[in-house]
């Protein structure tokens, strides 16, 4: 069902008598502002969006979510503009321990960790500072770790057509730590191997060995 066909309404303005969230007028969901929707969410969980501590929370929530999902307005092409260089180098390039922060698309709870990325150039290299930015382009979207890992690998492959790409992500998921099974010490490791990293055991082993070194 499209948003425009939703007939359910919710309070869009409230009185200020301090007696709770009493509706004064209602608005169609499709016409509501993001801040009105967040105010309604606060009401639905049993809070009063008019109390002092929450008066500005809908605005903060809108700003925060815009930042946390800014990857939807970014692209790898823009990130890499002018940062691809012709280099006569064909050994492995590794950037490891890249911090990433994302939101689980199932519960909108954070998951975070470190990314380890390697590729073997085939005539072109990526400016080193751009590799963490590629991670952010995809991490700052609603995600699952498995897809995030694959998207990073494919983006590098598409950008410089290397001999191979290897990506390993180590993540901790608050949807497992704060709710559900509530296992605080658990971690999730995912990998994506393309080209030489997938077909050549020695290349893959070298990458994984170097990643483990501190």
- For position 31, which CATH number holds? 1.10.286
What band does 27 get if pLDDT is binned at 50, 70 and 90?
low
* Residue 73 domain flag: no
Number of structural domains, the chain? Answer: 2
- Are 123 and 93 within 8 A, CB to CB? no
pLDDT at 201 over 70: yes
Which residue in 69, 11, 19 sits closest to 38, CA to CA?
Answer: 11
* Residue 36 domain flag: yes
pTM: 0.84
Q: Which of 68, 91, 116 is the last residue of a domain?
A: 68
pLDDT at 26: 58
Mean pLDDT, the chain, integer: 88
Of 8-17, 59-68, 175-184, give the range with the top mean pLDDT. 59-68
Q: How far is CA 5 from CA 1, 60, 158, in A?
A: 7, 28, 40
Q: Would you call 101 helix, strand, or coil by DSSP? A: strand
Residues 203 and 142 in one domain: yes
Of the residues 77, 81, 99, 105, only one is catalytic, namely: 105
What band does 22 get if pLDDT is binned at 50, 70 and 90?
very low
| Cα dihedral across residues 130, 74, 155, 64: positive or negative | positive
pLDDT at 145: 98
pLDDT at 7: 28
Which residue in 101, 105, 201, 115 sits closest to 150, CA to CA?
Answer: 115
- Are 97 and 116 within 8 A, CB to CB? yes
* Residue 61 domain flag: yes
Structural domain of 42: 3-68
CATH code where residue 198 lies: 3.30.1130.10
Of the residues 107, 150, 172, 206, only one is catalytic, namely: 107
Of the residues 145, 151, 163, 170, only one is catalytic, namely: 145
């Amino acid at each position: 069902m499209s948003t425009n066909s939703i007939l359910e309404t919710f309070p869009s303005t409230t009185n200020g008598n301090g007696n709770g969230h009493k509706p004064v007028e209602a608005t169609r969901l499709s016409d509501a502002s993001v801040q009105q929707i967040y105010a309604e969410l606060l009401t639905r969980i049993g809070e009063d969006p008019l109390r002092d501590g929450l008066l500005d929370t809908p605005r903060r929530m809108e700003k925060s979510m815009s930042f946390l999902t800014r990857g939807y307005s970014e692209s790898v092409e823009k990130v890499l503009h002018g940062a691809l260089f012709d280099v006569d180098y064909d050994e492995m390039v590794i950037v490891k321990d890249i911090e990433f922060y994302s939101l689980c698309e199932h519960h909108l709870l954070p998951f975070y960790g470190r990314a380890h990325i390697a590729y073997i150039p085939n005539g072109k290299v990526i400016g080193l500072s751009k590799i963490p930015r590629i991670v952010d382009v995809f991490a700052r979207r609603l995600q699952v770790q498995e897809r995030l890992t694959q998207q990073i690998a494919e983006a590098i492959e598409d950008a410089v057509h290397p001999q191979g790409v290897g990506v390993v992500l180590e993540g901790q998921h608050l949807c497992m730590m704060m709710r559900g099974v509530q296992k605080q010490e658990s971690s999730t490791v995912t990998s994506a191997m393309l080209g030489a990293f997938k077909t050549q055991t020695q290349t893959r082993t070298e990458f994984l060995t170097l990643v483990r070194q501190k």
